[in-house]
Structure 1
Amino acid sequence: MRRKYGFDPYLALIVAAGQLVISKGASWGQRETREPLDPYAYALLFVGPLALLVHRRFPLITTAVALGACDLFLIGGYAYGPTFISPAVMLFLLVTRGKRLMAWFMAGMTLLSFVSYAWLVGNSDLFHSVWMLTAIMLLMVVAELVRIVRERRTERERISEEEARRQASEERLTMAQELHDVLAHNISLIHVQASTALHLIDANPEQARTALATIKTASKEVLGEMRSVLNVLREGAPRSPTAGLDRLDELVERSGLEVALKRVGSRPLPSQVERAAYRIVQESLTNAGRHAPGSSVSVRLEYGEKELIVQVADTGATTPAVLSESGSGNGIPGMRERASALGGTLVAGPSGGGFQVEARLPLPEETS
């Protein structure tokens, strides 16, 4: 309720109790020079806390009312000290709540009223005026420092939240790309093998059986990869790549193509490079199976000091392409985006009678 209506009941209660208790002590300590507390004095002591109750909604009016009650308390001849608490708290709140111009204006009015009262009672000592100025300035400087610290903390939290949202967005985009690659490869493979099985089921049952076995393996694989990708989205799940170059042999085996895999050199690779290289090979094999069935495919991985070269080439179709017109058209652009995201390049185009894809992915320097 306090946040909805702008009430500050707890702070008002604390200030009221503080002013009342301290006023009794101050009145007893100044009993020789100041007037004892009476009902009028008690009423003035409660004006400030009551105004503080709605200070959030009416900052200027309540500060002026608290300052007026403080001045009346002093003019009434009551003890110095406790009645300053309410105006001081309100000035502090004005600064920390962002109403700085209003706060400094009221600080000037407070100093003017206190100096005027001192001169009214015959205290024109310059040192006394400087002391009041110093006390009010110290209060305002402390309030400004608190405001700056709060604003900086809020800004850091905002930046941190924006960074978290940005990273979450990047993760979602990565996961979407992973899902696209997984589904595109495996569904295309399943479609090709299903078409082959249907075509050969009567003439060559054994080859049709092999195609159906490939479909079974590919469907199981796509379910497993999808589960791995989606697990990354779960809170607390390890952020690990769903596929790496250690699984290339398995990828080649289930592609249904005649593939020659060659590795030149070897070295540890960053996970993002491994994942990108694997997906580039996967997409290239998918394209070869879709557009160049019956071709021979060569996959070459060259591990250099500064870059990983991934080269996938086919010799061209030897049988009619079952799915040559059914692609999404996002395969090569998707591979190029993966390479570019790592600062690399990808070139794809006809080569001899077939097609070749070559990606160059930069690598960090090896540490000894």
Structure 2
Amino acid sequence: MENARPPWARRCLGPGWERWLSASPDEPRGWFGTRLPWLSTLAVTVIVMVGSGFAGHGQPDRVPLDSVARALLFAGTALLLFRHRFPRAVALGAALATVVYLAAGYPFGPVFLTVALGAFGAIVAGYRRVAWCALGGVWLSHVLVAHWLYRWLPPAHDGPAPWEQEFFVTAWVVAVVALSELVRVRREQLAKARAERAAAERRRADEERLRIARELHDVLAHSISVINVQAGVGLALLDSDPEQARSALTTIKDASKEALGEVRQVLDTLRTPGDAPRSPAPGLDRLPELTEQAASAGLAVAVSTEGAPAALPPGTDLAAFRIVQEALTNIVRHSGSRTARVLLAHTPGALEIRVDDDGPATSEADGPTGGGNGLVGMRERAAALGGSVEAGPRPDGGFRVLARIPLPGTRDRGRAPDTDAVTPAATEEES
């Protein structure tokens, strides 16, 4: 069926005979859900009907308007009611009604408005070829009727039209096409801008969900690890050393209270988006609290500093605190070492964090808790600020976490990470 059509039909209508009758994808399908432009179509119908009557009085040499002429005018304007639903069919139908109207010798006038609006709707909907074929068909039929076929068509004793008239028709066609293309391009730009805004909003929502999930993981993993260790101590000493068991229970109470407070702070951002947090986000100034919690879990932490400490941006301060917190949590959960060393190196362009323990790994590292999101979360935090995190066994034994976070607004001229001190092998402390 495709090859049976003439070449001009394939060029105008495109592949598939039924496609030129199909609805525009921008409009809802189904008759009851279609938005029909009733008011604008009614206004165009009145203009065409009344205007053609006035135009007929000024062109006594043309065939007077009769019922056939009114029917053709009404048919052309009535098609415009479906110009958003079937833009290609309306463009061709309005052009056909206009060609028949002109061939019958009726007066010139607002009849060209229906063709212009039909072609305008097709071009705006993206069907340029159909619109051009409709406009070209009207122009070609006007040339044939006005210069060659007028001898056999009404009105009687009609002569050829001046060729200067064709320049006006050509200018009219070009103006319709140019305006339609301008509107179409503008609509595409607006649609693209809306799509980009929607994509940006989805991206921000995804980033916020990832941030909240990372915060919850860091808070809960650290606190629950402390609680787990102290609960084991309390159970072991409940009968033999009740006072030590009481101390373990007190630590559990304090750790759970702090965890609940931080979880509540994170969840408050979901309930009241855009509001300022009720308490400041944790930073490196809370390292003493972190070391105390680790000490209550049986891990002695030594913190040292190199270089002149500088005021850190809130995002960098939070990321540094969470990296140290997660590294200590991994030692508590997966290392047999009871000591850990934290080094904060302030360089001109970056903050370096190094957390070491002497190991060895415990059997828990191979259990269900191994292979989690701890190291992944640390790397994501550092990468979000343009930094990096490396973790792995040290050549001399033990385990090392090495993070480097560039400082915004400064050029990173610090020393390169000590990659030789970390072996990218099995990450025994990943949680």
Task: Place the TM-score, normalised by the shorter chain, in its bin.
Answer: 0.7 to 0.9
Q: Which residue of the partner structure matches residue 295 of structure 1?
A: 338
**Counterparts of 2:99 and 2:399, CA distance in 1:** 92
Alpha-carbon distance between aligned partners in 2 of 1:84 and 1:273, rounded to the nearest angstrom:
67
Equivalent positions of 1:146-295 (< 5 A) are 146-234=183-271, 236-238=273-275, 242-255=281-294, 256=296, 257-264=299-306, 265-292=308-335, 295=338
**What code does the residue aligned with 1:81 have?**
G
Distance 2:271 2:141 in 1: 63
Rate the CA distance shift 1:55–1:364 in 2: closer, same or farther, 3 A.
Answer: closer
Q: C-alpha separation between the residues in 2 aligned to 1:351 and 1:243?
A: 33
Kindly provide the amino acid, as one letter, of the partner of residue 216 in structure 1: K
Residue identity opposite 2:309 in structure 1: S
Aligned to 1:133: 170
Contact kept, 8 Å, 2:337 with 2:357, in 1: the verdict is: no
The answer to whether the 8 A contact 2:389-2:401 is kept is no
After TM superposition, the structure 1 stretch with the greater mean CA deviation from structure 2, 151-160 or 57-66, is 57-66
Q: Which runs of 5+ in 2 are unaligned?
A: 1-26, 151-157, 412-431
Deviates more, 1:248-257 or 1:131-140: 248-257
Identical columns (%): 40
Answer with 77-86 or 105-114: which moved more: 77-86
Question: Partner of 2:45 in structure 1?
Answer: 16
In structure 2, do the counterparts of structure 1 residues 117 and 243 end up closer, same or farther at CA, with 3 Å as the change threshold?
Answer: farther
Q: 8 Å contact 1:217–1:254 — kept in the other structure? A: no
Select between 56-65 and 162-171 the one with higher mean Cα deviation. Answer: 56-65
Q: 1:4 aligns with which of 6, 23, 30?
A: 30
TM-score (norm 2): 0.74
Change (3 A) 1:352 1:250: same
Structure 1 residue 114 and structure 2 residue 157: aligned? no
Pairs aligned (count): 364
How far apart in 1 are the matches of 2:334 and 2:70? 94
CA gap of 1:355–1:41, structure 2 versus 1, over 3 A, is closer
More helix by share: 1
Residue 3 of structure 1, CA deviation: 5.8
TM-score by length of 1: 0.85
Instruction: Give the drift of 1:31.
Output: 5.9
Structure 1: distance between partners of 2:84 and 2:96: 18
| Aligned mates of 1:112, 1:253 — CA distance in 2 | 91
User: Contact conserved, 1:2 with 1:8, CA < 8 A, in 2?
Assistant: no
- Structure 1 alignment gaps of length 5 or more: none
Measured in 2, the distance between the counterparts of 1:332 and 1:206 equals: 37
Please point out which of 361, 371, 383 is paired with 1:329: 371
CA RMSD of aligned residues (A): 3.1
Greater Cα offset, 79-88 or 348-357: 348-357
Aligned partner of 2:110 in structure 1 is: 82
| Cα shift readout 1:44-64 (whole Å, capped 9, x = no counterpart) | 321112222234555454434
**Which residue does the alignment assign to 1:41?**
69
* Mean CA deviation greater in 358-367 or 77-86: 358-367
**More displaced stretch, 68-77 vs 259-268:** 68-77
- AA of the residue aligned to 1:95: I
Distance 1:16 1:295, change over 3 A: same
Displacement after TM superposition at 1:332 (Å) = 3.7
Contact 1:290 1:322 in 2 (8 A): no
